[in-house]
Amino acid sequence: MKLNSRRWAFGTAALLGLSLAPAAQAQDFFSQLFGGFMQGRPPVIRMPFDDGPAPVPRAERRARYDGGQAYCVRTCDGRYFPLAATGNQSKAESCNSFCPASATEVVYGGNIDNSATEDGKPYSELPNAFRYRDEIVSGCTCNGKDPVGLAAVKIEDDPTLRKGDIVAGKDGLMSVSRPDRRGASLNFTPAPERIRAKYERAPVLAREVDFFSIGTNDLTQYCLAIDRGHPQLSAQADGLHPAVLRLIEMTVTAAHAQGKWVGVCGELASDRLAVPLLVGLGVDELSVTPRSMALVKARVRELDSRQARTLADRALTLDSASAVRALVAEMH
């Protein structure tokens, strides 16, 4: 009878263990689907008569963190960029190859705010998370040369450009064409009038809409012709590039002429160095993440609108995002 009792007890425990398994799987499923609601680790289910903690299999532990976009993080200042798989390299090797001058870490998630390392450490708990928003860290670069760690790429060498692309430069809008022979340089010619006319419609559009909300992530990507997911160029997609700032200024001018307000969303709105420029350009509203709200409000309150306008005017005369960041860092 004792033997049968033990068998019955074990069988009951086994059934209980099996009945718990679907719930755990369901919870993991909803964690994947609605990851923002569950910040803790998945529940650990112990097997019957187990004396020690149940180890979480590596595949299960990683499932929650590398199911989304991979980001390469420069650990000296927390700056990051989307990372794509390249060849036979692991993501960590690929990250290091793009940023060899500084230590790096790879995190995974739907966005940077809820991303984490393979071991489950959130990006926000890394020692220098978001530090790049507040200061330019001396010696923190990816290439060992540029003060803000972004390598300059000549437009002629941009591998993403295709025939028919439009590039905004010091000579205005230029149309790109590639010669038929391999290895030949790109050709740049003034864009046709019909193309230039398309970029002059903001004043007309302002009469028809209630407001403008500028998504700076996509605006930067398309203005600079840099795919945010490109493994080599995405780190250079900086929204403080003068070309991006000019487009924001053009939109604000057209909107205000019709009595319409302009808001900015995207990462640029939470960038501490960008806030004075956006205020100086006349942006009426900044849409930021909850974690950045207090920082941005404090930054706005300390600004003088006339000084911000002067700063923005100076920034528009510069030729690179790194020069703009250096200017703002010097003034503030």
Cα 253 to Cα 281: distance, rounded to the nearest angstrom: 9
Cα 259 to Cα 212: distance, rounded to the nearest angstrom: 11
Encode pLDDT of 164-206 as tens digits: 888 776 677 888 886 655 555 678 888 888 877 776 666 778 8
Tokens encoding 140? 């923190």
Residue-averaged pLDDT of the chain: 75
pLDDT at 41: 42
Question: Which own/partner contact pairs does 94-98 have at CB distance under 8 Å and 24+ positions apart?
Answer: 94/231, 98/72, 98/142, 98/231, 98/232, 98/235
With H, G, I as helix, E, B as strand and everything else as coil, classify residue 141: coil
Stretch among 8-17, 122-131, 206-215, 267-276 having the lowest mean pLDDT: 8-17
Identify the band that residue 51 occupies on the pLDDT scale cut at 50, 70 and 90: very low
Identify the band that residue 7 occupies on the pLDDT scale cut at 50, 70 and 90: very low
With H, G, I as helix, E, B as strand and everything else as coil, classify residue 177: strand
Instruction: Please say whether the beta carbons of 130 and 309 come within 8 A.
Output: no
**% of the chain residues with pLDDT over 90:** 30
List the domains of the chain with CATH numbers: 68-133 (no CATH), 154-194 (no CATH), 201-331 (3.20.20.60)
Tokens encoding 30? 């909803």
Beta strand pairing call for 211-215 and 187-190: unpaired
Non-local (6+) Cβ contacts of 109 within 8 A are: 35, 65, 68, 69, 71, 115, 116, 123
Instruction: Tell me, yes or no, if the pTM score tops 0.75.
Output: no
Encode pLDDT of 250-264 as tens digits: 999 989 988 999 999
